[in-house]
């Protein structure tokens, strides 16, 4: 496990369109199909990361809250399952059902989507507005597996609330922190984390 901060993709970046397989029902899901009327939250995560698991219940809870504000959530797992078999699609389904995900959990087998979003860690959060332009990328909150900070989701929830009310987002956004995405050989994105 390597502690990695999110890359902080430039604000106003247009969301990369994708069509990926949902780990739960094996149906193909595109960004256009799942985008919300007000916004779309894209989360890069995986099954085994302790940072993700630490926040998981609150992530599910926040996804329900923001859906009422017109913001749909989608989670994507891009890890190399050959070297990290605990992230296999059948285990994605198991986790999604166990935690009652109210959002698709998609498998990015080629890692093309993670590369396009310049996702760096799990969890990595990207909030797009109704025009699919990036308004927030950063941390969920300041809770980590080895600190005693309460899990609130305050940073992300605040950004979602501002989006839903048409308010200006804070420009000073704090990166997310988690395990590095487990890249396949040859996919390591050397340049974009600098």
Confidence of residue 192 (pLDDT cuts 50, 70, 90): low
Confidence of residue 186 (pLDDT cuts 50, 70, 90): confident
What would the pLDDT profile of 60-88 be if each residue is shown by its tens digit? 999 999 999 999 999 999 999 999 999 99
Please tell me the pTM assigned to this model.
Answer: 0.95
> What is the total residue count of the chain?
194
Token pair for 190: 């050397």
Structural domains in the chain, CATH included, are: 3-193 (3.40.30.10)
Provide the edge-to-edge strand list for the sheet that holds 177-180: 3-5, 177-180, 121-122
Q: How far from the centroid of its chain's Cα atoms is residue 48's Cα?
A: 14
Q: What angle do the packed helices 154-165 and 50-67 form, to 10 degrees?
A: 30
pLDDT at 194 over 50: no
What would the pLDDT profile of 110-166 be if each residue is shown by its tens digit? 999 999 999 999 999 999 999 999 999 999 999 999 899 999 999 999 999 999 999
What would the pLDDT profile of 7-42 be if each residue is shown by its tens digit? 999 999 999 999 999 999 999 999 999 999 999 999
C-alpha dist (Å) from residue 1 to 9, 16, 50, 121: 23, 27, 9, 11
The residue assigned the tokens 């739960």 is: 24
């Amino acid at each position: 496990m390597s502690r990695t901060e999110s890359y902080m993709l430039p604000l106003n970046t247009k969301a990369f369109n994708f069509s990926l397989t949902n780990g739960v029902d094996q149906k193909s899901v595109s960004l256009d199909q799942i985008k919300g009327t007000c916004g779309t939250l894209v989360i890069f995560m995986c099954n085994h990361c302790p940072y993700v698991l630490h926040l998981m219940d609150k992530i599910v809870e926040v996804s329900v809250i923001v859906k009422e504000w017109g913001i749909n959530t989608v989670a994507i797992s891009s890890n190399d399952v050959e070297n990290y078999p605990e992230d296999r699609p059948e285990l994605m389904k198991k986790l999604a059902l166990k935690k009652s995900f109210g959002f698709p959990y998609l498998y990015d087998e080629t890692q093309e989507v993670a590369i396009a979003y310049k996702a760096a860690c799990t969890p990595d959060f990207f909030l797009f507005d109704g025009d699919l332009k990036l308004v927030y990328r950063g941390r969920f909150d300041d809770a980590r597996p080895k600190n005693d900070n309460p899990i609130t989701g305050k940073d992300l929830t605040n950004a979602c609330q501002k989006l839903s009310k048409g308010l200006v987002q804070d420009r000073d956004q704090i990166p997310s922190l988690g395990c590095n995405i487990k890249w396949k050989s040859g996919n390591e994105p050397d340049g974009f984390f600098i």
